Amino acid sequence: MAPIVVKPLSVIQQTMWLEHQLAPQSASYNLVLPIRIRSPLDARALEGAVELVGLRHELLRSRFLDHDGEPCRRPADGPLTRLEILDVPAAELATAIRSYVNQPFDLTEGAFRVGLLRLSADDAVLLPVAHHIASDFVSHWLIVRDLLDAYRHGKLSVTMTFSWTRSAGSSARRSEGGRARTGPPGSRARRRPNSRPTDRARQFPGALATRARSG
């Protein structure tokens, strides 16, 4: 029987782990980048893209748990995330986005999920959500980039992966300044303030993607 592989957490991840233990129903560390898709979408291709991204990035396929009294992460051999498709009436879209984003994570089961809120055959909102223990704001952009790349090509053509724990010091400074951390335990998740125009469209074959507003 193969030994169980566990890896230590960074100091910042240990802090987030502790806060999660104190407030497991909090969504304050949930990161999201909503994308509005106004074109027919190949759901099967998107499902494959989600699995490819989850397989590539070890943090996205890690479970965060207690091992011999110490917080750690246990990488899985395969992706933990599957695309969740939810049919939503247009009038309930904003509420559905907030509800999906603010679902707390069970970190023992993973720290990444992707939802597709489908309004019609050619209108949907893609919601890649990660807990800050597994990603930061820059890394989350890379996750979305890889997701769209995998959807477009059926594979991941960019070989770079991320490991945000290498920049834990800068992440801690952002947290102290109120940028990385989105709120106190028990608060709702908030999207990152973005200096780029929010109405700027991103094109990829088969769909038109724009940032979605949840309120």
Q: Flag the least confident range among 62-71, 145-154, 193-202.
A: 193-202
Alpha-carbon distance of 124 to 89, in angstroms, equals: 11
Alpha-carbon distance of 87 to 104, in angstroms, equals: 21
Q: Which two tokens stand for residue 4?
A: 């169980």
Task: Tell me the pLDDT band of 165, cut-offs 50, 70 and 90.
Answer: very low
Q: Flag the least confident range among 59-63, 84-88, 162-166, 194-198.
A: 194-198
With 0-12 / 13-18 / 19 or more C-beta atoms within 10 angstroms meaning exposed / middle / buried, residue 200 is exposed
Count of alpha carbons within 13 angstroms of residue 156, beta-carbon side: 20
pLDDT higher than 60, residue 117 = yes
Which of residues 212 and 44 earns the better pLDDT score? 44
The answer to whether 135 and 144 are in contact (CB under 8 A) is no
Which of residues 85 and 137 earns the better pLDDT score? 85
Closest alpha carbon to 162 in 187, 191, 185, 138: 138
pLDDT of residue 159: 52
Q: What is the pTM of this model?
A: 0.74
pLDDT higher than 80, residue 19 = yes
In this prediction, residues 131-152 reach a mean pLDDT of 93
The answer to whether 185 and 19 are in contact (CB under 8 A) is yes
Task: Tell me the pLDDT band of 157, cut-offs 50, 70 and 90.
Answer: low
Q: Flag the least confident range among 44-53, 80-89, 111-120, 203-212.
A: 203-212
pLDDT of residue 154: 86
The answer to whether 211 and 199 are in contact (CB under 8 A) is yes
Q: What's the mean per-residue pLDDT of the chain?
A: 80
- Hey, what CATH topology would domain 31-62+76-181+198-211 get? Chloramphenicol Acetyltransferase (3.30.559)
Task: Tell me the pLDDT band of 5, cut-offs 50, 70 and 90.
Answer: confident
Alpha-carbon distance of 157 to 148, in angstroms, equals: 11
Which of residues 206 and 159 earns the better pLDDT score? 159
SS3 state at 212? coil
Taking the chain, what is the end-to-end CA distance rounded to the nearest angstrom? 51
In this prediction, residues 69-96 reach a mean pLDDT of 96
